[in-house]
Structure 1
Amino acid sequence: MEVENRKYITVEELKLHNNPGDLWIAIQGKAYNVTDWAEDHPGGGTPLLNMAGQDVTDAFIAYHPGTAWQYLDKFFTGYYVKDFKVSDVSKDYRKMYSEFLKMGLFEKKGHWALYNMVSIAFMLWVVVYGVVRSESTLVHLGCGFVLGMLWIQAAYMGHDSGHYLVMKSRFWNNVAQILAGNCVTGISIAWWKWTHNAHHIACNSLDYDPDLQHIPVFAVSTRFFNSLTSVFYGRELTFDAVARFLIGYQHFTYYPVMIFGRINLFIQTFLLLFSTRPVPNRFMNILGILVFWTWFPLLVSCLPNWGERVMFVLVAFAVTALQHIQFTLNHFSGDTYVGPPMGNDWFEKQTAGTIDISCSSWMDWLFGGLQFQLEHHLFPRLPRCQLRKVSPIIQELCRKHCLPYRSLSFWDANVSTIRTLRTAAFQARDLTNPVPKNLVWEALNTHG
């Protein structure tokens, strides 16, 4: 009798509730009004808005613990979606999630977080001791190398705590985020959450995924040449003469740019924290950044001369380039698309846009578990120590549904990425695709 009295809406009617002032989503066929919740959503309002007016069951179970279900009732509209269909892929994905849940994989964090924190503390001691107590230039350069490795591992710690994978309570995870992200690396965890959550939801969407939007320096697809509008940033990604020139040689500039990629992250951090947009825990984020910009300049100032100081910083930046390269290898040569993420092909989009890096288990520490990029995208709440274990199971599911599972060696992933950049670069140089020219471009290209 209760079923007969239910109120229903269609999938098309649900799609109409897709803007910030009228934001509905559906989970397992029940419609929820999250308009007023979007600003308070721990993952930010962007993921909700990107998938507004859709059934988001797969994404919901991927990013939320079982305790989150109890909070849904207060958003229930009283409506059920009567004509939504669950694909065979989604059915198998949800079954796999349930099996992992029964196995307790989401709770078995292992001791990797402890090992990581100990290694970070040890490297910090080595760097400080070497800089302060040694007068050797080689030792100082070695300390720069260790500092780069420290920043890489701290970034992994910030990433994992940002996904609430390190500590058991939200409070202590937030503490770990600020310490590892803001205080140690100088990169705001608020900025990371803002961009990273959008990236996960809209993996490899050219206009929704900020991790692909690097105009005018890089373009992984010729569709950027039409000056796409970034939904994430709310502005046009203009393909002008400057962009054409830079992108035309991006396969040569890729590695040098990665060396200085950290500078861009520092700039993005300041732009967000001192902007007018809402920033969760703004004060704590700013305080953490101040901690970084206190200890790091003091450490550099302990070096005996400006030559060593510059080399020290450059070596540290060059080492962190390994991490920036890894992140781009995971997605730059993956399949791309234009438009918002869709709830009914969420699994398929993750497999299409993601590339794993194959390596031996002893290298897991270096890659931070993110060499299993697809596994992480499908199960972002899964501790990194479980990713290698579930990889064969996910491979089998991909084979069953004829979906790509790409796992390349670090070398092959670099080759694939450079090939993607080179292809786009040659097409950017094509003068039959007119954009306003500048003198530099014409001098280099008019006469071959």
Structure 2
Amino acid sequence: MMLEDEHEGNGSLVGKSQQYLGEKQQANGKPVTNGKGEDSVKQEANGKCDMSRKILTMYSWQEIQRHNQEADQWLVINRKVYDVTDWAKRHPGGHRVLNHYAGEDATDVFRAMHLKLDIVKLYLEPLLIGELAPEEPSQERNKNPQLVEDFQELRRTLEAMNMFKANWMFFFLHLAQILILETLAWLMVWHFGNGWLMTIFISFLLLISQVQSFFLQHDSGHLSVFTNSKWNHLMQKFLMSHLKGLSAKWWNNQHFQHHVKTNIYPKDPDIDVGPLFLVGDLQPVKYGKKKIKFIDYEKQHLYFYMVGIPLLVPLYFNIKSIQLMYLQRCWEDIAWVSSFYIRHFIMLGPFYGIFGTILLIYGVKFLESAWMIYVTQMSHIPMKMSREENRDWFSTQVLATCNIEQSFFNDWFTGHVNFQIEHHLFPTMPRHNYHKVAPLVRSLCAKHGLPYVSKPMLEAFGDIVRALKKSAALWRDAYYET
């Protein structure tokens, strides 16, 4: 069955009445303009999709779901069907992100992960191959259409409330805090020398700077803080690679997979941590039945303290970062990461020497690792982990995440990702707005009978260990089962 579908000359994929994927607008209804850096992108994309008419084939969900392999990837966005097989290799978020949604409806995840739709939609146009047949539902039949509609209505409400508009001063002050701490550390050692007490104090300043740099990079990876995308790209490189010494491309590829398929094994790299640790209910049983015992998993909660906490950032993160930069020849990231070490050798080398400077850098990373492990894992490890169940976006994120009770200290200590549920539902939302939208999210959870978990921070810390012990018990039972 064929259908002629007319499109406007600007390459818009949706009609004016479809606000959910319509043109990005301000509250006053005027379209948002982008910086000059994006004009060339628009011109390039328009050149590729300068077509006024397209013949669209009508597809059923049964047909679409067959195209779910790496060499054959289709997905649905707002009832339109796209073949992203060739585009996946050039996708800025990494090819695996698209593959994770092959054969599925990606409307909500597409909207969640892209802030500037007017740019992204232009690149979608050449990939358009058809649309859902009129008798087909907008989502797969196993999904709750009322919940999907309610969530999309919630997002429209939040957009009307300007909840996705970033406060530049908020992020500027956080960047200023980081630069002041870095400068203060150098001035202290320059003025007072490199005694033990001074070294401890300097390490403390650098520790706070490193963690806050991570939080701010986390923001820049999701937000277009600048209207010009080139400046936003530059900010990511500066924060992750220059201030932290890690590849920004590696981080984005890993982190975006975590966001789109949270706690789904093996699509979420954050929970695919075997053979060092076994998490959730499925992975331990799998290892146990296959009689796999790389370590004594019954003691993995102790192993977590001895190995996982101290070595995640200084060892695992750095190895993975270097591996990606080397294998993919990411010369830009290599240059930025090199600048991290050059800066430290210039600032601290005259006082500590080469060996002492390296020791100080990785001593700070050792401390940072414990901080980051608790902040990132307390909201996920104790929560539901499963294989692909093809749930709707709202249910997937709510079941896989939990919040930590709000306080001034908790907000600062976690970089506001104590509102992990809101952060995962709306990744491009500025974190200073999470607390404002939390009551609305909680209300939607109550309406549809979904848990909205919020707990004290110390309880959340303890839940990490309790979850590891539970997984270890499942492995033990399967391993010793006759």
TM-score (norm 2): 0.80
Residue 356 of structure 1 is aligned with which of 371, 380, 403? 403
1:26-37 matches, cutoff 5 A = 26-37=76-87
- Cα shift readout 1:7-35 (whole Å, capped 9, x = no counterpart): 42110100112223322111121111222
In the alignment, is the contact (CA less than 8 A) between 2:291 and 2:479 conserved in 1?
no
- Where does structure 1 lack aligned partners over 5 or more consecutive residues? 229-237, 436-448
Whether 2:305 is the aligned partner of 1:258: answer no
- Quick one: distance in 1 between partners of 2:65 and 2:479? 40
Question: Secondary structure in 2 aligned to 1:77?
Answer: strand
Q: Which residue of 2 aligns with 1:194?
A: 253
- Alpha-carbon deviation of 1:313? 4.2
**Residues paired across the two proteins, number:** 417
- Cα shift readout 1:387-408 (whole Å, capped 9, x = no counterpart): 1111111111111111111111
Aligned partner letter, 1:291? S
- Alpha-carbon deviation of 1:74? 2.4
Change (3 A) 1:222 1:101: closer
In the alignment, is the contact (CA less than 8 A) between 2:59 and 2:133 conserved in 1?
yes
Q: Which residue of 2 aligns with 1:48?
A: 98
- Alpha-carbon deviation of 1:166? 2.7
Q: Which residue of 2 aligns with 1:25?
A: 75
- Where does structure 2 lack aligned partners over 5 or more consecutive residues? 6-54, 140-144
Q: Which residue of 2 aligns with 1:407?
A: 454
- Quick one: distance in 2 between partners of 1:294 and 1:382? 34
**More deviation, 359-368/406-415:** 359-368
- Quick one: distance in 2 between partners of 1:74 and 1:317? 47
Question: Secondary structure in 2 aligned to 1:168?
Answer: coil
Change (3 A) 1:195 1:111: same
Q: Which residue of 1 aligns with 2:63?
A: 13
Whether 2:326 is the aligned partner of 1:274: answer yes
- Alpha-carbon deviation of 1:432? 4.7
- Alpha-carbon deviation of 1:430? 4.9
Residue 79 of structure 1 is aligned with which of 121, 131, 146? 131
Q: Which residue of 2 aligns with 1:164?
A: 223
Whether 2:232 is the aligned partner of 1:185: answer no
Aligned partner letter, 1:401? H
- Alpha-carbon deviation of 1:334? 0.6
- Quick one: distance in 1 between partners of 2:357 and 2:335? 29
Aligned partner letter, 1:199? H
- Alpha-carbon deviation of 1:373? 0.9
Change (3 A) 1:239 1:213: farther
In the alignment, is the contact (CA less than 8 A) between 1:9 and 1:79 conserved in 2?
yes
Aligned partner letter, 2:94? G
TM-score (norm 1): 0.86
- Alpha-carbon deviation of 1:371? 1.1
Question: Secondary structure in 1 aligned to 2:223?
Answer: coil
CA RMSD of aligned residues (A): 2.6
Q: Which residue of 1 aligns with 2:207?
A: 148
Q: Which residue of 2 aligns with 1:379?
A: 426
Question: Secondary structure in 1 aligned to 2:380?
Answer: coil
Whether 2:333 is the aligned partner of 1:285: answer yes
- Quick one: distance in 1 between partners of 2:73 and 2:298? 41
Identity %: 27
Q: Which residue of 1 aligns with 2:25?
A: none
In the alignment, is the contact (CA less than 8 A) between 1:134 and 1:140 conserved in 2?
no
- Alpha-carbon deviation of 1:301? 3.7
- Alpha-carbon deviation of 1:362? 5.1
- Quick one: distance in 2 between partners of 1:165 and 1:140? 37
- Alpha-carbon deviation of 1:356? 1.2
Deviating 4+ runs (over 4 angstroms): 297-300, 302-313, 429-432
- Quick one: distance in 2 between partners of 1:367 and 1:131? 28
- Quick one: distance in 2 between partners of 1:126 and 1:383? 28
In the alignment, is the contact (CA less than 8 A) between 1:140 and 1:312 conserved in 2?
no
In the alignment, is the contact (CA less than 8 A) between 2:285 and 2:474 conserved in 1?
no
In the alignment, is the contact (CA less than 8 A) between 1:143 and 1:312 conserved in 2?
no
Question: Secondary structure in 1 aligned to 2:432?
Answer: helix
Change (3 A) 1:431 1:381: closer
- Alpha-carbon deviation of 1:111? 1.7
Aligned partner letter, 1:16? R
Question: Secondary structure in 1 aligned to 2:242?
Answer: helix
Change (3 A) 1:36 1:146: same
- Quick one: distance in 1 between partners of 2:472 and 2:367? 24
Change (3 A) 1:81 1:158: farther
- Quick one: distance in 2 between partners of 1:11 and 1:64? 25
In the alignment, is the contact (CA less than 8 A) between 1:216 and 1:239 conserved in 2?
no
Aligned partner letter, 2:310? I
Change (3 A) 1:125 1:307: closer
Change (3 A) 1:21 1:242: closer
1:46-445 matches, cutoff 5 A = 46-65=96-115, 66-67=117-118, 68-82=120-134, 83-86=136-139, 87-135=145-193, 136-225=195-284, 240-243=292-295, 245=296, 247-256=297-306, 257-263=308-314, 264-276=316-328, 282-299=330-347, 301-304=349-352, 310=359, 313-315=362-364, 317-339=366-388, 342=390, 344-361=391-408, 363-430=410-477, 432-433=479-480
Question: Secondary structure in 1 aligned to 2:452?
Answer: coil
Question: Secondary structure in 1 aligned to 2:376?
Answer: helix
- Quick one: distance in 2 between partners of 1:432 and 1:324? 28
